[in-house]
Amino acid sequence: MRTTNHRRRGAGMAAAGMSAALVLSACGGGGDGGDDGEAEAVDGGGTVSAHNCEPQNLQPGNSTENCGSRILDQLYTGLTQVDYSDDVEVVPGVAESWESDDNVTWTLELSDEYTFHNGDPVDANTFVESWNWVVDPDNAQQGASFFDKIAGFQDVVDGDADELEGVTAVDDHTLEIELEEPFGQLPQMLTYSAFYPMPSEAFEDMDAFQDAPIGNGRYEMDGEWVRDTEINMNRYEDWPGEDPGKPERIEWQIYSDTNTAYQDVQAGNLDLLGEVPPNRIENLEDDFGDNFERYQTSRFVYMGLPTYDDDFADADMRRALSMALDRDELNEELFDGTYTPARSILPPTIPQGREDACGENCEFDADAAAELYEEAGGPSELTLWTDTGVGNEEYVEALANQWQQNLGIDSVDFEMLEFAQYLDLLEEEDIGGPYRLGWLLAYPSPQYAMEPLYTSGAPSNRAGYASEEFDSKIDEANRADEGEEADGLYQEAEDILLEDMPVIPLWFQDYFVVHSDRVEDAEMDLRTYITVDQVTVTEE
């Protein structure tokens, strides 16, 4: 985690308001997350207990939230995986290698060593069967839309075909994927949980299957998912990958309140918690000494602007709103400096991310902002929109204060809505002012940080942003081979966004991990998942 660690240090420096000791221990721990690094693991690997929230479900094709995905991450191995510990690179999973001449037709060679926890082999047909089941509209899987780049997806959705035309098992260990359009980021996308293989028995009764999902991952279920209570898993000794799980057993304890979990870690009843409640952050040093660490993630929080509204149609006006925000001060004032102010769209935690891609458009300059705002004829009244939730109202109000102060806006109103209602209005383009939203990367590709949110007519394009220049740049980047060329094109696309400002980057949310005395080497990846499988348990 060398690169990330470096960035983390940078973030610590910026956070001047935090106590020096906190900054030191947050950075000084180094990439290994341990204190002296040379911890001796107990025989066999030991048992680690980790906090989790109650999953919505444990079905690979249906899980689109973190509580479920963290569990599935340990139970399943996809065709490809991401090595989050180093350069956030795609590495082989079930697929040993993959190639494509045109980024349209992909051929993946599968390993013959992977088996499901019930002994069934995992072969090319497994993937064909699993994916066809997930996209079948009758099965109502939430992750189905991730397959929309595969040829024949729309036919299946419309009921004109039963199976994805673009997925074929050439032989037991060769899988061929044909796409609608060239897409160089396919290997990244295939790391996502919607693409995991499932054994045939899953399709007979998915609701029963998810009580104890049978996967092909590092860990296998021990017993059933006890709702709202616990999920236990043991290391699957036949997992053929390079870095099998270190602990022998993971016991996920399900909590409804992170404050309770926090106290349980303090009391030594729980080993790992990755979601320290915000009100506890200032006590971390007292409560945990060295047993905590700060991580940057890909969690991006922004104010979207309804570009379909006449008041927000002018890019100069949108830039003025961005320049009128003092992100560092907001971070200090609202979060004691524990977030990372965002001056980019791509999270700096992925290799393509640049910390200050935005330049002067995200630099606080009250005078220039006021001038630009007036020239662009920005409205003298604003309504800010947010969903209700922990702290949301508070920071939306803080933003409003700065806009009022710096742009000479007369009055600011607030619309605070329950999440479901909020989404309805966003979907119907019925929002009349800046609105708060967040985005977390499902797979670490710059494509996923932008395409679903900002291309014309994309499902999550709440801003109603439509730019031919941006669309064609994304298209070009998607066509390019993965690597430097594509990276550069995605960054150019990002530059267009930062010039047009359909959304105002606010910050990337940092997470704090706390752990008990008996575990070491706990790390958190940019998805906000603790690498539970790689921790060292030092005491029975």
Partner 1 sequence: MTRYILRRLLQFIPVILIATFIIYAMVFAIPGDPIRALGGDRPMSEAVQQTLRDQYNLDDPLLIQYFKYMAGVAVGDFGTTFQGRPVTDIIVQRLPVTLYLAFVAVIIQIIIGVIAGTLAAIFRDRFIDRLVQVSSVLVVAVPILAIAFGLQFVFGLQLGWFPIAGIGSGFYSYILPGFVLASVSTALVARLLRNSLVETLQSDYVRTATAKGLKRSRVVGRHAMRNAMIPVVTFIGADLATMLGGAILTEAIFNLPGIGQEVFRAIQAQEGTVVVGIVTLLVLFFVVVNLIVDIAYAFLDPRIRYE
Contact residues for partner 1, defined by CB under 8 A: 56-57, 62, 64-65, 137-142, 144-145, 148, 157-158, 206-207, 227-229, 253-257, 259-261, 263-264, 266-267, 269, 417-424, 427, 437-440, 442, 452, 459-460
Nearest-approach distance from CB 192 to partner 1, in angstroms: 11
Nearest to partner 1 of 142, 404 (CB atom): 142
Nearest to partner 1 of 151, 440 (CB atom): 440
CA atoms within 13 A of residue 495's CA, in its CB half-sphere:
7
Nearest to partner 1 of 230, 499 (CB atom): 230
Task: Map residue 144 onto helix, strand or coil.
Answer: helix
Distance CA 79, CA 311 (A): 47
* Contact indicator for 51, 253 with CB cutoff of 8 Å: yes
Ordered DSSP codes for 385-450? EEE--TTHHHHHHHHHHHHHHHHT--EEEEEEE-HHHHHHHHHTT---S-EEEEE--SSS-HHHHH
Nearest-approach distance from CB 63 to partner 1, in angstroms: 10
Nearest to partner 1 of 279, 401 (CB atom): 279
Distance CA 16, CA 322 (A): 22
Beta strands in 255-365 (DSSP E): 272-273, 292-295, 300-304, 340-341
Nearest-approach distance from CB 158 to partner 1, in angstroms: 8
Nearest to partner 1 of 98, 508 (CB atom): 508
Nearest to partner 1 of 121, 452 (CB atom): 452
Nearest C-alpha neighbor of 344 from the set 328, 355, 352: 355
Helix axes 484-500, 315-323, angle to 10 degrees: 90
Nearest-approach distance from CB 70 to partner 1, in angstroms: 16
Nearest-approach distance from CB 264 to partner 1, in angstroms: 5
Nearest to partner 1 of 270, 325 (CB atom): 270
Distance CA 180, CA 104 (A): 7
Distance CA 14, CA 338 (A): 10
Nearest to partner 1 of 8, 149 (CB atom): 149
C-alpha angle with apex 392: 388 to 394, nearest 5 degrees?
115
Nearest C-alpha neighbor of 169 from the set 109, 242, 216, 253: 109
Nearest to partner 1 of 35, 155 (CB atom): 155
Task: Tell me how many helices (H) and strands (E) the chain has.
Answer: 18, 21
Nearest to partner 1 of 219, 448 (CB atom): 448
Nearest-approach distance from CB 297 to partner 1, in angstroms: 15
Nearest-approach distance from CB 423 to partner 1, in angstroms: 5
Nearest-approach distance from CB 463 to partner 1, in angstroms: 13
Nearest-approach distance from CB 57 to partner 1, in angstroms: 5
Nearest-approach distance from CB 62 to partner 1, in angstroms: 8
Q: Collect all residues with Cβ–Cβ distance below 8 Å to 140 and sequence separation of at least 6.
A: 62
Q: Collect all residues with Cβ–Cβ distance below 8 Å to 49 and sequence separation of at least 6.
A: 250, 251, 252, 253, 269, 270, 271, 272
